[in-house]
A and B are shown apart, each in its own frame.
Chain A
Amino acid sequence: MFFNVAWHSLLNRKYAVLLALISVTISIYALLGVEHVRHEAKASFSKTISGVDLIVGARTGQLNLLLYSVFHMGSATNNIAWESFLELENEPNVAWVIPISLGDSHRGYRVTGTTQDYFKHFRFGQGTTLQFKEGRPFEQLFDVVIGAAVAEKLGYRLYDEIILAHGLGQTSFSLHDDYSFRVVGILQPTGTPVDQALYISLQGMEAIHLNWKDGVKLPGRSVTAQTLDKLDLTPKSITALMIGLKSKVTIFTVQRQINNYSKEPLTAILPGIALAELWQMMGVMENTLRLISALVLFSSLLGLSTMLLSSLRERRQEIAVMRAIGASPLFVFLVIQTETLLITATGMIAAVAALTVSILSAQKYLLENYGVFIDSFILSSEMIIVLGSVLAGALMLGLIPSLSAYRMSLHHGLAAKA
Chain B
Amino acid sequence: MPLDAIKIKNLCFSYPGISQTFWLEIPEWRIAQGERIFLKGASGSGKSTLLNLLSGILVATHGTIEILGQDLCVLSARQRDRFRAAHIGIVFQQFNLVPYLSVYDNIRLAAYFGRKKQDDLDITIKQLFTVLNLDDALIMRKAGNLSVGQQQRVAIARALVNRPEILVVDEPTSALDNDLRDAFMDMLLEICRVHASTLIFVSHDATLTRFFDTIVNMSDINQAGAKTNVF
Which residues of A approach B to under 8 Å, CB–CB?
1, 4-5, 8-9, 11-12, 317-318, 320-330, 413-417
A11: which B residues are within 8 A, CB to CB? Answer: 100
Q: Does any Cβ of A come within 8 Å of B224's Cβ? A: no
**With contacts A1-B112, A326-B114 known, is A413 near B52, CB below 8 A?**
yes
Determine the residue in chain A with the shortest Cβ distance to B112.
Answer: A1
B98 contacts A5, C-beta separation under 8 Å = yes
Say which residue of A5, A327, A414 sits within 8 Å of B51 (CB atoms).
A414
A326 contacts B97, C-beta separation under 8 Å = no
Which residues of B approach A to under 8 Å, CB–CB?
48, 51-52, 55, 57-58, 77-78, 81-82, 84-86, 90, 92-101, 105, 109-110, 112-114, 158-159, 170
Q: Indicate the member of A11, A326, A328, A417 with the most B CB atoms within 10 Å.
A: A326
Shortest C-beta distance, A15 to chain B (Å), equals 14
B105: which A residues are within 8 A, CB to CB? Answer: 4-5, 8
Q: How far, in whole Å, are A8 and B95 apart by their CA atoms in the complex?
A: 17
**With contacts A413-B57, A414-B55, A414-B92 known, is A5 near B109, CB below 8 A?**
yes
Q: How far, in whole Å, are A8 and B109 apart by their CA atoms in the complex?
A: 13
**With contacts A1-B112, A5-B101 known, is A324 near B90, CB below 8 A?**
yes
Q: Indicate the member of B81, B84, B98, B158 with the most A CB atoms within 10 Å.
A: B98
B48 contacts A325, C-beta separation under 8 Å = no
Shortest C-beta distance, B51 to chain A (Å), equals 6
A322 contacts B109, C-beta separation under 8 Å = yes
A321 contacts B55, C-beta separation under 8 Å = no
A321 contacts B84, C-beta separation under 8 Å = no
A414 contacts B90, C-beta separation under 8 Å = yes
Q: How far, in whole Å, are A324 and B57 apart by their CA atoms in the complex?
A: 8
B48 contacts A415, C-beta separation under 8 Å = yes
Q: How far, in whole Å, are A12 and B85 apart by their CA atoms in the complex?
A: 26
Shortest C-beta distance, B42 to chain A (Å), equals 14
**With contacts A1-B109, A11-B100, A413-B58 known, is A326 near B84, CB below 8 A?**
yes
Q: How far, in whole Å, are A416 and B96 apart by their CA atoms in the complex?
A: 9
Shortest C-beta distance, A339 to chain B (Å), equals 12
A326: which B residues are within 8 A, CB to CB? Answer: 81-82, 84-86, 110, 113-114
Q: How far, in whole Å, are A322 and B112 apart by their CA atoms in the complex?
A: 11
Known: A326-B113, A413-B48; 18 extra A-B contacts, CB below 8 A, are A4-B105, A8-B100, A8-B101, A12-B100, A317-B95, A318-B98, A321-B92, A321-B95, A324-B90, A325-B85, A325-B113, A326-B86, A327-B81, A327-B109, A328-B77, A414-B51, A414-B55, A416-B92
Shortest C-beta distance, B124 to chain A (Å), equals 15
Q: Give me 22 A-to-B residue pairs in the complex whose CB atoms sit less than 8 angstroms apart, sorted by A's number.
A: A4-B105, A5-B98, A5-B105, A5-B109, A11-B100, A12-B99, A318-B98, A320-B95, A321-B96, A324-B84, A325-B109, A325-B159, A326-B82, A326-B85, A327-B113, A413-B48, A413-B52, A414-B51, A414-B52, A414-B55, A414-B92, A416-B92
Q: How far, in whole Å, are A138 and B170 apart by their CA atoms in the complex?
A: 95
B109 contacts A324, C-beta separation under 8 Å = no
B48: which A residues are within 8 A, CB to CB? Answer: 413-415
Say which residue of A325, A327, A329 sits within 8 Å of B158 (CB atoms).
A325
Determine the residue in chain A with the shortest Cβ distance to B171.
Answer: A417
A322 contacts B57, C-beta separation under 8 Å = no
Shortest C-beta distance, A38 to chain B (Å), equals 42
Say which residue of A8, A12, A325, A330 sits within 8 Å of B90 (CB atoms).
A325
Q: How far, in whole Å, are A130 and B55 apart by their CA atoms in the complex?
A: 80
A416: which B residues are within 8 A, CB to CB? Answer: 92-95
A1: which B residues are within 8 A, CB to CB? Answer: 109, 112
B98 contacts A328, C-beta separation under 8 Å = no
8 pairs of A and B residues whose beta carbons are closest in the complex:
A326-B85, A12-B100, A326-B113, A317-B95, A325-B110, A324-B90, A413-B57, A413-B52
Determine the residue in chain B with the shortest Cβ distance to A314.
Answer: B99
Shortest C-beta distance, B11 to chain A (Å), equals 16
B82: which A residues are within 8 A, CB to CB? Answer: 326
Determine the residue in chain A with the shortest Cβ distance to B79.
Answer: A328
A325: which B residues are within 8 A, CB to CB? Answer: 85, 90, 109-110, 113-114, 158-159
Shortest C-beta distance, B104 to chain A (Å), equals 11
Shortest C-beta distance, B170 to chain A (Å), equals 8
B86 contacts A321, C-beta separation under 8 Å = no
Say which residue of A5, A317, A324, A327 sits within 8 Å of B55 (CB atoms).
A324
Shortest C-beta distance, B222 to chain A (Å), equals 18
B98 contacts A321, C-beta separation under 8 Å = yes
Q: How far, in whole Å, are A1 and B111 apart by their CA atoms in the complex?
A: 11
Say which residue of A322, A330, A414 sits within 8 Å of B98 (CB atoms).
A322
Q: How far, in whole Å, are A56 and B82 apart by their CA atoms in the complex?
A: 81
Q: Indicate the member of A5, A325, A416 with the most B CB atoms within 10 Å.
A: A325
Q: How far, in whole Å, are A415 and B47 apart by their CA atoms in the complex?
A: 11
B96: which A residues are within 8 A, CB to CB? Answer: 321
B98: which A residues are within 8 A, CB to CB? Answer: 5, 318, 321-322
